[in-house]
Amino acid sequence: MGLPANVPYDVELPPDTTPPLGITDSLDALIDRAVRARPDLMAARATAQAAQSRVAVARGQALPSLVVSGTGSGTYFFRRPLATQQGNSYSATIGLQIPLFSGWSQIYDLRAASAAARAADERRQGVEQQVIFQVFNSFYAVRTATQRVRTSDDLLASATQSEQVALGRYRAGAGSLLDLLTAQAVLADARAQVIDARLAWYSTLAQLGHDAGILGLDGRSGLHLQTDSTGPNR
C-alpha cells in the first residue's frame, strides 16, 4: 500500500460483493501480450541481444582493420618586433592491421562469445515457454474458479432454503431440533464455501494478471471482466 505500518485505516466493503463471472480476454490475446510485455521475458531478450552483439564485436576483432592517421606542423622564427612564419609540413598515413600472431585468441574469443549467445538465446526460449505455460495455466484456473463460484452460490441457495424449511417445521412442531441444527450446520458450511470460492476467484484473477504482464502497481489486473461467461474464450 505504500503506507507506514502504524497508519490507522478502516476496511470498507464494496456495495456489491458479487464477483464478475468471467473475462472477455481470449487466451491467445493474453499469451500474445505476455510474450510482448512480460518484464522477465523482456530482460531475457535484452540479455540475448547483448550476447549476440558481443559475437559481432569478437568477429570484428578477428578481421583486418584499416588505420588512418594524419599530422600537421608549422615552423616559426620569432624576431622582434614581429613573428614570421617559415613554413608548414603535413603528413598522412594509412595502415592495414592484420591479426596474424595473436595466439589464436580471436578465434577462442569468437567461439566463447558464440557459445554464450546460444546459451542466452536458449534461456530466452525457456523463459518464453514458461510465460506461455503460466498464462495458459492461470487462464483455465480462472475458469475453474468461476465455475466454483457458481457452484457455491447454488449450494448456498439450496442450503438457505433447506434451513428455512427445517426452521418452519421445527416451529410447527413437525421437525426435530436435530434436523434444524443439521440444516444450520449445512448452511454455515455453504457460506464458508462461498467465501473460499470468491477468495480463490480473486486470487486466480490476480495471478492471471501477473502472468499476462498486465498487473498494475495499484493492484488492478487490467483484464476485461463480464458479469457472466457461458463459453470458453479462445
Interval 82-92: pLDDT, tens: 555 566 677 77
> Which domains are delineated in the chain?
27-211 (1.20.1600.10)
Tens of pLDDT along 139-195?
A: 999 889 988 988 998 999 999 999 899 899 888 888 788 888 999 999 999 999 999
In this prediction, residue 231 carries a pLDDT of 43
Return the axis-axis angle of helices 39-61 and 27-37, rounded to nearest 10°.
50
1 pLDDT higher than 60: no
Whether 228 shows a pLDDT value over 60: the answer reads no
> 51-95 pLDDT, tens per residue?
999 888 888 776 777 777 777 666 665 555 555 556 667 777 777
pLDDT digit string (tens) for 10-59?
766 555 556 666 777 888 889 999 998 888 899 999 999 999 998 888 88
Helices 105-171 and 177-211, interaxial angle, to 10°?
160
Burial class (CB in 10 A: 0-12, 13-18, 19+), 231: exposed
Average pLDDT over residues 199-221: 79
What is the DSSP code string of 181-228? HHHHHHHHHHHHHHHHHHHHHHHHHHHHHHHTT---TTS-----B-S-
In percent, how much of the chain has pLDDT > 70?
A: 76
Percent of the chain with pLDDT over 90: 28
